[in-house]
Amino acid sequence: MLLNVQPGFNVIVPSYAFVTTASAFARSGAELRFADIDPVSLCIDPDSVGALIDSSTRAIVPVHYGGMAADIDRLTQLIEVHGDSNIVEDNAHGLFGSHGDSPLGSFGRFSTLSFHETKNFSCGEGGALVINEKRDVARAHTLYDKGTNRAAFLDGRVDRYTWIEQGSSFGMSDLLAAFLLGQIEQRTGVMGRRQKLFTRYHKQLSPLEAGLGIEVPPISETHRSAYHTFYVLVSGEGRRDAVLQELNESGIGAPFHYQPLHRSEGAQPWVKRKFDCPISDSVSNRIIRLPFFDALTDSEFNRVAETLTGALRHTA
Ligand SMILES: Cc1ncc(COP(=O)(O)O)c(C=O)c1O
């Protein structure tokens, strides 16, 4: 809404992303263009974006998959060439991660956060819009306040408030915000525990990559992950589902992840061409996310690692 996206504009999102990464823009009538992802970072591939961007592109929406930075530098270069487009970071996975010294979510004109129960910091359902440029603040208040100039009234700039444009009731309830704030105040401890678990999985599984036919997430020297998830990519067609079945039969909740959006039925009214996103297709069929929560005990960790290793050996 703040970008005035409307029919005639297009928005570029990764095919390998959550539904709302795209549907938030479809509701304004934008054409959706689906970019493929990079096979190592699993984030939007700047080359694929480069082939889709044009003068009607209003937004490019990188997801910092799993909490690791997308290629912000190359996306920023693309935006500089196409002056009317903007980066809108879907930072649902990336809160408290960084790209170099700067926090994820601070690069786009806007970034979005999710506090859904699956996220590192949660209040059940909820989210936030981060506004990184002063020029957007006043209108954001209006949209947030049901399309009224209530913010100006509260600041004493007008003597009553009234309806001035379309908006909605976007505020979070105080009760949910209080529940969330308690976690944010403990972010150092939360992030430390998540980093420890990620490192433990990585140490355990990275030496086995070749032997078990898997890939584990990359570790960056320069960017700090938000440690949202730990996944393995299983090699070979159809093998992933057999491994998942074995894990699930042992009582281990290990989910797969996104279904490619360029193939989804819901996207079709908003697309005008065919998209080829082979990496999104392949990752979607090969990914397994491992149990990843603060309270995972040592014995649970060991059971996950042993069951996974066994299942990978059986299906090799
Ligand atoms: C990349 C990404 N964006 C957005 C969301 C959804 O956020 P919400 O349900 O809070 O809109 C998710 C997952 O739930 C996600 O993985």
125 pLDDT higher than 90: yes
Percent of the chain with pLDDT over 90: 96
Atom of ligand 1 nearest to the CA of 24: 11
- What pLDDT, in 10s, does the model give residues 143-187? 999 999 999 999 999 999 999 999 999 999 999 999 999 999 999
Q: Which of 20, 121, 125, 258 to mutate to test the pocket of ligand 1 (most atoms within 8 A of CB)?
A: 20
Percent of the chain with pLDDT over 70: 100
pLDDT score recorded for residue 152: 94
Spatial separation of the C-alpha atoms in residues 84 and 53, rounded to whole Å: 11
Q: Band of the pLDDT at 237, cuts 50, 70, 90?
A: confident
> What residue has token string 């990752």?
283
Structure token digits, residue 114: 């999710």
Q: Which of 16, 18, 89, 125 to mutate to test the pocket of ligand 1 (most atoms within 8 A of CB)?
A: 18
C-beta separation of 30 from 10 below 8 A: yes
- What pLDDT, in 10s, does the model give residues 273-282? 999 999 999 9
Please state the φ and ψ torsions of residue 44, each to the nearest 5 degrees. -50, 135
Which residue intervals of the chain are DSSP H helices? Answer: 19-26, 46-52, 72-81, 137-144, 150-154, 174-185, 187-205, 209-212, 239-249, 278-286, 298-314
pLDDT score recorded for residue 186: 97
Find the mean pLDDT for residues 28-38.
97
pLDDT score recorded for residue 29: 93
Q: Band of the pLDDT at 132, cuts 50, 70, 90?
A: very high
> How close is the Cα of 290 to the center of ligand 1, in Å?
18
pLDDT score recorded for residue 89: 98
Hey, is 111 helix, strand or coil?
Answer: strand
> How close is the Cα of 114 to the center of ligand 1, in Å?
6
pLDDT score recorded for residue 236: 84
115 pLDDT higher than 80: yes
pLDDT score recorded for residue 294: 82
> Whole-model pTM above 0.75?
yes
| Mean pLDDT rounded to a whole number for the chain | 96
Q: Please give the torsion angle defined by the CA atoms of residues 233, 234, 235 and 239, in that order, rounded to the nearest 10 degrees.
A: -150
Q: Domains plus CATH for the chain? A: 10-133+172-185 (3.40.640.10), 134-171 (no CATH), 187-314 (3.90.1150.10)
pLDDT score recorded for residue 83: 77
Q: Which of 23, 111, 116 to mutate to test the pocket of ligand 1 (most atoms within 8 A of CB)?
A: 116
Hey, is 283 helix, strand or coil?
Answer: helix
Q: Band of the pLDDT at 77, cuts 50, 70, 90?
A: very high
Spatial separation of the C-alpha atoms in residues 310 and 249, rounded to whole Å: 13
- What pLDDT, in 10s, does the model give residues 41-63? 999 999 999 999 999 999 999 99
Q: Please give the torsion angle defined by the CA atoms of residues 99, 55, 24 and 112, in that order, rounded to the nearest 10 degrees.
A: 20
Atom of ligand 1 nearest to the CA of 126: 10
Q: Tell me, what DSSP letter sits at residue 163?
A: B
Q: Which of 43, 114, 130 to mutate to test the pocket of ligand 1 (most atoms within 8 A of CB)?
A: 114
> How close is the Cα of 221 to the center of ligand 1, in Å?
27
Pocket of ligand 1 (CB under 6 A): 17-18, 20-21, 63, 90, 92-93, 114, 116, 118, 127
**Higher confidence at residue 118 or residue 236?**
118
- Cα 228 to Cα 238, 264, 294: the distances in Å are 26, 25, 11
> How close is the Cα of 1 to the center of ligand 1, in Å?
18
